Every structure is written in structure tokens, then in C-alpha cells.
Amino acid sequence: MGITAIRGFNDILPSEVGKWQFVEKTAREVFEGFGFAEIRIPILERTELFSRGIGEATDIVEKEMYTFTDKGGGSLTLRPEATASMARAYLEHQLYAFDPVAKLYCFGPMFRYERPQKGRYRQFYQIDAEVFGVGNPVVDAEVILMLIHFLRRVGLEKLELQINSLGCRDCRPRYREGLKAFLTEKSFQLCEDCQRRLQTNPLRIFDCKVQTCQEAIADAPKVSDFLCGECDTHFDKVKECLSMANLDYVLNPRMVRGLDYYTRTAFEVVSYDLGSQNAVTGGGRYDNLFQEIGGLDIPGIGFAIGMERLISLLPKDKEFIRYPDLFIAAPGKGTHGEAYRLANQLHLEGIHTEFDYEGKSLKSQMRRADKLKARYVLILGEEEMKKGRAVLRNMADKSQEELPIDNLTGILKNKIGKD
Ligand code: HAM
């Protein structure tokens, strides 16, 4: 074999693309119905946007970023996520001057140097939605509601919404210290990475998969016991709004999320069909991110859905491929020109039409029509054409009818468009 794709970087082949288009189309419909507008942002950003935004002591910034020095000597990074970039764009273009509240979404590839396995890739796609400029807990519930509505619209079941509150600048440091004190007593149980995390970012220890670390944190203090009055009230209101919208949720006090920008509400939607990579979506509130990246004091909340994981959960019985509406079989030399002319006219009418380019036998053309799963076949036989007629075959019920070749485009448009 010649040159192959890089490990962890996938091709999305035409047979799969229908699913992607369906998911993207549904996301646009749902999100725009909730008042969100699309934004398109670059794939490359200055490295400091992510190191300051996501946090120096996170796995993403410490070891997963694709960072390089460009010819001008600047340090650039392939974006590992979209939230920080969207916040940068909002600040840079002063979108707040028009309206402080911005509801934005974007689609696109993200890059993380992780160990590839099923559901975890080095280039993966996210659908990302963010609300900037609202600190009110009602919007936390609204964003979650939109997410769940979208996931249901694409046909996902067996999902669980998990929520937690991660506190704010006032209460989180207290929790951090409480957790550090608790884990220091058990530090002999921690793996080498977590020994280091204990000093730099003890909350990350919750995400460690090593058995002894999991045991060490089993009885660790919960962040909910450290929340300040305001964070408590905020979280209560989120839960109340979710219940008002009849949304079931599970409280997961161990969910800390892998990015440091979160404050207060954090959430994940997990699927029990996904094996070990079971988070389809992660999100939460980040009321300090804008300040971290050098901007104003603007609150934000949002989520990102992993496209590959979502697509692996789509209903198996749904068809996502657009098959040809019509195949024109023109077995005789004299009929090729007519097939070409007709196919061109039908394409202009939006009717997906295929025909044979090679002058093969009728049998072989019918086999190809069958393989392509064409809904109808129009047979342009030389004899029939002399009589001014063509035969239309419905491939589902195998019925056939003769049609006049005058105004075939109009007749076919009516017939095929109607089904
Ligand atoms: P995240 O939890 O890092 O959050 O990623 C969100 C989703 O992206 C995950 O739930 C997963 O489905 C998918 N994902 C992450 N890494 C990979 C990977 N290596 N391969 C395949 N899929 C992956 C964020 O990125 C935040 N920016 C979410 C957010 C938006 N928070 C607030 N707003």
C-alpha cells in the first residue's frame, strides 16, 4: 500500500457521509429554532489562547495539543476544542456591542494527541453551542434542554444526563484544599501522574482510570459540601428548571470535567451503548473564561457533542444514503444521446439520475441500476423510441408502464417527484 492516513485521523467515506449530513442538518434546525446563529472560526489559534483558557495543568494542555512554531516564530496550536476560540471571536469582533447576549454554534474538527481507540481519535469532530453574556441559571437549563431535544431528534435513546456544580472562585479553592488534604493522606495509593496532579490540580485525579487512584478517591469529599450560598442557590434553580421541563437527571458529584474553565453547572450526557468512551457530550458554565483570555467579565455556558460518538449511536434501521431517483438504461447506440440529454434536464430539476456511460448491454445496465438501488429505471429501447415511447419500471414493485417520449422530463418530474 502507498501512503496511508495518519493514525487517529479518519476518512469519512461517502457511504457514511449521509449520517453526518443528517446530524448537521438536524443540529442547524434545532439550534436555530432556539435562536442560535452559526459562527465559523479558524482551526489554528495562538497557543496561549488554550493554555490560558483551558488551563496549564489539564491533560489537554499538558500533553495533548498539536503545537508547533510557524515560520514567523509564533507558537500555534491546532484547536483541541472550540469554546475558547468562540469566546476569542466574540471579544475580538465586539459582538457584545450589538447585543451582550450571543447564542452561537459551530461544527468542525478538533485535534488532541490522545491514544487512539474506538470513540477516541486525534482528529475528531464536535458540534458546539455556546451562550455568552447570561449568568442566570435559567439559561443553564435551557441549553441542556436544547441538547437533549437535539439528541432525541436524531434518534438517540438510552442516554443519561449527569449534572454537578463545580463552584466558583470563592468556593472551589476551599474544595481543592479539602480534597488535597484528604488525598495527601492516601498519596501512597496514587499513581505517578496523580502524585503530580495532587500538587498541580487535585481535581484531575477523579478522571484517572488507575484502580488504586479510583480507590483512593472513593470516599473523597464532595464538591457539593463546599459550595457557597450563591452557588448552592444557582444549582438549585438549575435543577428546578430541569424538573419544570420534565428532564430527568442524575447528580454525579464526581464529574469534574477535563477543562479548568468550568464554574458552577457542569454536565455530561453518557450513553450506555458506547463502551468505555461513553460521554457523547460534555459542557458547563465558565464564568471566568473571558477574564482568563484577557477580556471582560462575561459569563458563558455551552456544550460540545462528539460527532463520531453520536454517529455510532444513530438508529441502525434508518437509511441515510440518497439513492438515485432514476436510472436511464439506454442499450442501443442511437439512444445514448437521448439518455445524456434527458439526464441533464432531470438534474436541473433536482432529480438524481444516473445513466450508463459505457454502452453496456441492457442486462448489465439493469444490474447496475439494481446495485445503485435506483427507485425507477427508464428503458430507452431503440424499437420503442422509434414508436415515440419509453418504458418506466418501478424497482420496488416491479410494475412497468409505457410513457410517450415527448415531454418526458415533465412527466418524470411529476411522477418521481410525487412518490
Ligand atoms: P470535552 O468533554 O473535552 O469538552 O469534549 C466534548 C465531547 O467531545 C466529548 O464528550 C466527546 O464526545 C468528544 N471528544 C472529546 N475528545 C475526543 C476524542 N479524542 N475523540 C473523539 N471524541 C472526542 C469540550 O471540548 C468543551 N469545549 C465542551 C464545552 C463547550 N464546554 C462548554 N462549552
Identify residue 176 by its one-letter amino acid code.
Answer: R
- Give the domain ranges of the chain: 14-171+227-312, 326-418
User: CA 382 to CA 336: how far, in whole Å?
Assistant: 10
The residue whose CB lies within 8 Å of the most ligand 1 atoms, and thus the one to mutate among 103, 114, 259, is 259
Residue 162 parent element (H or E): strand 159-165
Q: Look at ligand 1, atom 10, and give the residue with the nearest C-alpha.
A: 281
Contacts of 32 (CB under 8 A, 6+ apart): none
CA proximity to 353, closest of 366, 361, 344: 344
Grid cell, residue 13, equals 467515506
Q: Tell the burial category of 273 from Cβ atoms under 10 Å away from its Cβ (0-12, 13-18, 19+).
A: middle
In terms of pLDDT, which residue wins out, 285 or 274?
Answer: 285
More confident residue, 7 or 272: 7
Give the cell for residue 59. 491533560
Phi, psi of 399 (to 5 degrees): -75, 155
pLDDT number for residue 374: 96
Look at the alpha carbons of 332, 337, 342, 343 in this order and tell me if their dihedral is positive or negative: positive
Angle at 333 between CA 331 and CA 339, to 5 degrees: 65
Atom of ligand 1 nearest to the CA of 286: 32
279, 270 Cβ separation under 8 angstroms: yes
For the stretch 65-84, pLDDT in tens is: 999 999 999 999 999 999 99
Give the architecture (CATH level 2) of 326-418: 3-Layer(aba) Sandwich (3.40)
Q: How far apart are CA 262 and CA 58, in angstroms?
A: 12
Please answer whether residues 178 and 237 qualify as being in contact, where contact means their C-beta atoms are separated by less than 8 angstroms: no
Which residues does ligand 1 sit against, CB inside 6 Å? 81, 83, 112, 114, 119-121, 124, 126, 128, 130, 258-259, 279-284, 302-304, 306, 308-309
Task: Tell me which residue has its CA closest to atom 15 in ligand 1.
Answer: 306
Return the pLDDT at 317: 82
CB count in 10 Å sphere of residue 27? 23
Is residue 187 very low, low, confident or very high in pLDDT (cuts 50, 70, 90)? Answer: confident
| CA dist list (Å): 26 to 19, 29, 98, 103, 154 | 11, 5, 28, 17, 7
pLDDT at 158: 85
pLDDT value of residue 35: 97
Q: Residue 135 and residue 237: Cα distance in Å, rounded?
A: 12
pLDDT tens profile 108-124? 999 999 999 999 999 99
* Average per-residue pLDDT for the chain: 93
Residues 138 and 30 sit within 8 Å (Cβ to Cβ): no
Nearest ligand 1 atom, CA 285: 32
In the predicted structure, residue 209 carries a pLDDT above the cut 90: no
Length of the chain: 419
In angstroms, the CA 14 to CA 28 distance is 21
Mutate to test the pocket of ligand 1, among 309, 310, 313 (most ligand atoms within 8 A of CB): 309
Q: Which three cell numbers stand for residue 105?
A: 454554534
CATH no. of 14-171+227-312 = 3.30.930.10
CA quadruple 220, 289, 60, 12: dihedral, nearest 10: 120
- The pLDDT of residue 418: 56
Identify the pLDDT of residue 284. Answer: 98
Fold agreement between 14-171+227-312 and 326-418: no
User: What is the value of pTM for the model shown?
Assistant: 0.92
Please report the pLDDT score of residue 419 as a whole number: 57
163 is written with which cell numbers?
449534572
Specify whether the backbone of 147 is left (phi greater than 0), alpha (psi in -120 to 50) or beta: alpha
Highest mean pLDDT among 36-40, 211-215, 396-400: 36-40
Q: What is the pLDDT of residues 286-316, one digit of tens each?
A: 999 999 998 899 999 999 999 999 999 998 8
- What is d(CA 259, CA 223) in angstroms, rounded to the nearest whole number? 16
List the end-to-end C-alpha distance of the chain, in Å, as a whole number. 45
